[in-house]
Structure 1
Amino acid sequence: MALVMVTGAASGLGYNTAQALADDGHDVVVHVRNESRLRDPDLWKGVVIGDLARVDEIHDVARQAARFGRFDAVIHNAGVLGAPDVMTVNVVAPYLLTASMDKPGRLIYLSSGMHRGGSTDLRRLSAGGTYSDSKLWVTTFALAVAARWAQTSSHAVDPGWVPTRMGGAGAPDDLTAGHETQAWLATDEDVTPRTGGYWHHRQTQPPHPACHDQDFQAQLIDALASQTGVPLD
């Protein structure tokens, strides 16, 4: 049985991932933006609450999560599609939570096939970056963590364009397949590669070349540390 935290678990892929893990007997701590969005409270090991668009509340989410001890896995699922919060929710929040929490055994970050259209211009971090930018950068961050933290596996996942509130009712991809890879990466003992994968429906794919560029990885981490005031160990 694993202790797993899932951010953005009020609905959509986050809720489906958390429910699948709980149904398999794992202890799941869910993050939701506010208490009114919490579903099925009796299903979870615990709940953390906070708006990941607000830096002060990101720090508070990390403090709340610390009550549960070291997680076996953390799934950074929370995300938004548009400005003005896209960089804070999609990039800064995963970075700050990763840097502030005890290192878990496994980290999974939600990416998107749209990351391939992102820019490597890190000035956009504080000056209106796009959704594609944010997904390029969080994918790069996931692979940078894989390279830096030998004892923690770290992966990025493209769940596909699925019919959630964000994806829209007409999205063509499979909703169930959209969460299965995250749950599998968080708990299965037979994941190859053990770390540093970019996944789509339990198959690795090559990400944007910048994601493996060590110089860009270092520049991204330096930019996030400078903006937040919190270094990555």
Structure 2
Amino acid sequence: MTDNATDSTPEPELYDSLDGQVALVTGANRGIGRQIAENLSTLGATVFAATRSMRHDVPEKWEHILVDVTQEGEVSDAADEIFQTAGRLDIVVNNAGIAEFDSDIVSAPVKTIDRTLATNLRGPMLVCKHTVPLLLQTDGGRIVNLSSGMGALSEEQSGGSPAYRISKTGINGLTAYLHGEYGDEGLLTNSVSPGWVRTEMGGDGADRSVETGAETPTWLARFRPGSPAGRFWRDREPIEW
């Protein structure tokens, strides 16, 4: 994205209410994912809260659904269940993710690389594979991909965490692909960097609350048809890839 493209990004039109709409949020039992799910529920959406175990606690007002994003069968079954239960899907938030910090590519265990890429990149691809057909049935279906500034090619790529960084660069590539492939059919796909958030992943020293981290992803989920897509956002502003 160039500065000119950033400057020319039009203002989105937003839904004030999500009544009647259906959202799938992965990794919805804690952290940013849980807050996004809560925000969308408050706005009136029916929320399918996807977690890796049904033992994870989520509010009773949400539809609790089993999804380990590394397991295609669970992803496929979840998409079928959403269609059978709700008959539609308007919003997908690809939030589930893991991180490995500190190691460089030489010292990173191969099992850590494989697990991180499987969860953070292959997982969202599987979710999109099985939910895009549902999203295309509604006017202006939205995909919100949780990325990170650590995956931005415009920022210095140093300081360790190779698998995490590369997985988030890949997420941005997934966003660009989905926009190019399905944007003309009305699908709105965007990436978002929530910033450094005080979650189990981000740690207690992070400079942002969960509520702040969830603000822009929630905002993107409110985009009306025809709003900007195929972009990378932070604090409701487009940023460089």
TM-score normalized by the length of structure 2: 0.74
The verdict on how the C-alpha distance between 1:175 and 1:190 changes in structure 2, with shifts beyond 3 A counting, is farther
CA shift, 1:65, in A, is 3.3
Structure 1 residue 108 and structure 2 residue 141: aligned? no
Match of 2:49 in 1: 30
Listed one character per residue, the Cα deviations across residues 15-74 of structure 1 (whole Å, up to 9, x for unaligned) are 000001111222111101111113212x21x22103223344333333333333331111
| Amino acid in structure 1 at the alignment position of 2:89 | F
SS at 1:29 equivalent: strand
More moved, 167-176 vs 146-155: 167-176
Letter in 2 for 1:167: G
**Cα deviation, residue 135, structure 1:** 0.3
**Higher RCO by CA contacts (8 Å cutoff, separation 6 or greater):** 2
Superposed, 1:1-233 pairs within 5 Å as 1=19, 2-41=21-60, 43-44=61-62, 46-67=63-84, 68-82=86-100, 83=112, 84-101=114-131, 102-104=133-135, 105-116=141-152, 130-149=163-182, 150=184, 151-189=186-224, 192=227, 194-207=228-241
The residue type equivalent to 1:34 in the other structure is S
Partner AA of 1:175 in structure 2: V
Matched-pair contact (CA < 8 Å) for 1:153–1:196 = yes
The answer as to whether partners of 2:26 and 2:49 remain within 8 angstroms in 1 is yes
Asked whether the 8 Å contact 2:152–2:240 carries over to 1, the reply is no
Query: Are the counterparts in 1 of residues 99 and 164 from structure 2 also a CA contact under 8 Å?
Result: yes
Provide the C-alpha distance between the structure 1 equivalents of 2:178 and 2:94, rounded to a whole number of angstroms: 13
Give the % identical residues: 29
SS of structure 2 residue aligned to 1:21? helix
1:130-149 CA-partner distances (Å, limit 9, x unpaired): 01010000111111101110
How many corresponding residue pairs? Answer: 194
**Are the structure 2 counterparts of residues 146 and 103 from structure 1 closer, same or farther at C-alpha, using a change threshold of 3 Å?**
farther
Report how far residue 88 of structure 1 moved.
1.2
Distance in structure 1 (CA, Å) of the matches to 2:190 and 2:47: 19
Q: Which runs of 5+ in 1 are unaligned?
A: 119-128, 208-233
Q: Unaligned stretches of 5+ in structure 2?
A: 1-18, 101-111, 136-140, 155-161
Instruction: Look up the equivalent residue of 2:46 and give its one-letter code.
Output: D
Distance 1:69 1:87, change over 3 A: farther
Q: Distance in 2 between matches of 1:69 and 1:57?
A: 18
Query: How far does residue 103 in structure 1 lie from its aligned partner after superposition?
Result: 4.0
* CA 1:30–1:74: 2 relative to 1, 3 Å: same
Which entry has the higher C-alpha Rg, 1 or 2? 2
**Range with bigger deviation, 62-71 or 198-207:** 62-71
